[in-house]
Amino acid sequence: MTKNSTSSLDLAQAVALLRAGRLVAFPTETVYGLGANALDETAVRRIYEAKGRPATSPLIVHVASVAMARKVVSEWPAVAEKLAARFWPGPLTLVLPKAKRVPDVVTAGLGTVGVRIPAHPIALALIRKARLPLAAPSANRFTELSPVTAEQVRKALGEAVNLVLDGGPCRVGIESTVLSLAGPAPVLPRTGMVSREQIEALIGPVLLAGAPIEGQAHEAPGQHLKHYSPRAPLRLGIPVETAGRAHLWWAIERPAEFSVRMPNDPDRYAAMLYDTLHRADGLGVREIVVEPVPVGSDWDGIRDRLARAAIIA
């Protein structure tokens, strides 16, 4: 069920569904999430079933306050407090040792859990009214494009989701940065629009995570080689006639070519990326070619998403 806008009645219905163990898709500043009560094992298993997501890929728990975050982790170091004060609410997920009350299904059996406070009024209102931490990966089928509008959620999941709360287009446009604080040194398993440079300016050196081992639980979501992918094959390259401009290019037939000029600003580029790829899929294109983005840590999250989208399964 999809609404064109979100009212207090929609929120009340969403809260009732979540408390009953059902699935509610809701907007965040990054992408739309497919939410369930993070403390309800059966409800969380419905997320995996709806997405076709492997059990080795953990989920992020969304909370509405630092106090709520501390209830789903067993340790809250000073560095977590410092990062939360700077970046929350916002697109940064912190991985910490989990509390016993968090079911293993949420964390792919690992002893750690990813947690963040989303910077979206509907997401925050939903969590506060439900008085529940919400496990919520992106509201799409596994490896496919993440949704940045309510309509994209509906097209991706259909009746698998009990309610979609419409909060308009997502402002950030790609998934959160994930930073693990569970080991002796901070590790970055997934880049995003909170850059490594911004984090290091606050807490010092951060290590990059290695590739996960096939068949084993991943330290964070979004680490599969192929991910965030449109239906059409995506290739990283530069069409000769448009070299040197940030753009996406696609073709429906060999004689028909279409080009979208993308912003040279990373924040604006990220906000447009998934919606532009969804548009290309909606046209039934045969191929998408993406010009490589500029170097620099503020482009790392975008570069990561494009590289994974270009992997051929």
Averaged pLDDT of the chain: 91
Cis peptide before 89 (omega within 30 of 0): yes
Measured on CA atoms in the order 181, 117, 24, 189, is the torsion positive or negative?
negative
300 — pLDDT class (breaks 50, 70, 90) = very high
Q: Name the DSSP letter for residue 244.
A: T
Per-residue model confidence (pLDDT) at position 162: 97
Give the whole-number percent of the chain exceeding pLDDT 90.
Answer: 75
Question: For the segment 244-288, what is each residue's pLDDT rounded down to a tens digit?
Answer: 556 788 777 666 678 898 999 999 999 999 999 999 999 888 899
Per-residue model confidence (pLDDT) at position 3: 44
Whole-angstrom CA distances from 131 to 37, 91, 196 are 10, 21, 32
Lowest average pLDDT, out of 133-147, 167-181, 205-219, 225-239, goes to: 205-219
Angle subtended at Cα 305 by Cα 214 and Cα 301, rounded to the nearest 5 degrees: 110
Backbone angles phi, psi at 257, to 5 degrees: -125, 145
Per-residue model confidence (pLDDT) at position 224: 63
3-state class (DSSP) for residue 309: helix
Q: Does residue 209 contact residue 180 with C-beta atoms inside 8 Å?
A: yes
Q: Is 1 a residue whose pLDDT tops 60?
A: no
Residue 173 region by backbone torsions, left for phi larger than 0, else alpha for psi between -120 and 50, else beta? left
Measured on CA atoms in the order 300, 305, 310, 312, is the torsion positive or negative?
positive
**Average pLDDT of 221-233?**
77
Per-residue model confidence (pLDDT) at position 112: 97
Q: Is 80 a residue whose pLDDT tops 90?
A: yes
| Residue 266 to residue 299: CA distance in whole angstroms | 6
Residue 215 region by backbone torsions, left for phi larger than 0, else alpha for psi between -120 and 50, else beta? left
Question: For the segment 116-138, what is each residue's pLDDT rounded down to a tens digit?
Answer: 999 999 999 999 999 999 999 99
State the number of CA atoms in the 13 A half-sphere of 287 facing the CB.
11
Domain residue ranges in the chain: 8-208, 234-309
Q: Single out the residue of 115, 13, 112, 9 nearest to residue 64, CA to CA.
A: 115
Per-residue model confidence (pLDDT) at position 246: 63
Residue 175 region by backbone torsions, left for phi larger than 0, else alpha for psi between -120 and 50, else beta? beta
Per-residue model confidence (pLDDT) at position 6: 72
| Residue 183 to residue 164: CA distance in whole angstroms | 37
Q: Does residue 277 contact residue 148 with C-beta atoms inside 8 Å?
A: no
Whole-angstrom CA distances from 289 to 102, 104, 122, 240, 306 are 42, 40, 35, 12, 10
**Average pLDDT of 95-108?**
97
**Average pLDDT of 74-94?**
98
CATH number assigned to the domain with residue range 8-208, chosen from the 4 options 3.30.420.40, 3.40.50.300, 3.90.870.10, 3.40.640.10: 3.90.870.10
Q: How crowded is residue 183: how many other Cβ atoms within 10 Å of its Cβ?
A: 11
Determine the straight-line distance between the first and last CA of the chain, rounded to whole angstroms: 32
- Which alpha helices (H) appear in the chain, and where do they start and end? 8-19, 41-51, 66-70, 78-87, 121-130, 150-157, 196-203, 266-282, 300-309
Q: Does residue 51 contact residue 34 with C-beta atoms inside 8 Å?
A: yes
Per-residue model confidence (pLDDT) at position 4: 46
299 — pLDDT class (breaks 50, 70, 90) = very high
Q: Is 311 a residue whose pLDDT tops 60?
A: yes
More confident residue, 227 or 262: 262
The predicted model scores a pTM of 0.92
| Residue 266 to residue 271: CA distance in whole angstroms | 9
Question: For the segment 136-194, what is each residue's pLDDT rounded down to a tens digit?
Answer: 999 999 989 999 999 999 999 999 999 999 999 999 999 999 999 999 999 999 999 99
225 — pLDDT class (breaks 50, 70, 90) = low
230 — pLDDT class (breaks 50, 70, 90) = very high
